Amino acid sequence: MAKGNSWKTRNRTAADFGLEGRKIVKRELKGEPQFTLEELYITPFTLRKRFDEDGRWQYVPVERNTAPTGINVMDDYLGYLSAGRSDMQAFADRHGLRTEEVGALVFILTGMKGVRFRQLYQMRLADDLLRFTDLAFDEVARRSGLGSPNNMYLALRREYDMSASERRAFLQQEGDAGRFRL
């Protein structure tokens, strides 16, 4: 029998006392979530290209609903993410909340854990920036909240099993680049 404070003695002692391992409680929202990611997404673009009947084009403002939920903290969080910021602690501190409370709000409204919602939101931002702009990858990473090209590479590999250049080639269709402006 092992002696001292090894993993063997800790596990045996816990078993001796009838202690079980930590139970992970997976929460699921009963019923449908109130909002989907698509309903909450705020585009980073402010202008879009519009063609007239003669084929001339001009940029016109994009209609952006910056308060899709009507809940001030959640709408501020969506604006925070859309601006390419991702520090949950800084956001929570700004509102006098704990990160768990922000995560709970996101869960209540979307049925997704806060971290997963942020990841999907950032992927949507990255997709839009890759598809509709010719921004360098470091700029796409910064504006999407992913931070660095390396972080963006890892996130794109995790979600789509593609690099940024592969994802851009996959998403971008003829006429997409320049369709919107930041």
Where do the domains of the chain lie?
Answer: 35-170
- Here the tokens at position 159 are 């979600």
- DSSP per-residue string spanning 71-138: -HHHHHHHHHHHTT---HHHHHHHTT--HHHHHHHHHHHHSS-HHHHHHHHHHHHHHHHHHH----HH
pLDDT of 155 strictly over 90? yes
Q: Tell me, what's the pLDDT at 152? A: 95
What are 71-95's pLDDT values in tens digits?
Answer: 999 999 999 999 999 999 999 999 9
What one-character DSSP code corresponds to residue 47? E
Q: Which amino acid type is present at position 107?
A: F
Q: CB atoms < 10 A from the CB of 128, how many?
A: 19
pTM for the model stands at 0.82
At 18 the pLDDT is 55
Q: What proportion of the chain, given as a percentage, has pLDDT over 70? A: 86
Supply the pLDDT for residue 16. 58
Q: How high is the pLDDT of residue 51? A: 87
Is the CATH number of domain 35-170 1.10.10.60? yes
For residue 170, the 8-state DSSP code is: H
What pLDDT was estimated at residue 153? 95
Check residue 14 and give its pLDDT. 52
Determine the average pLDDT of the residues in 127-138: 95
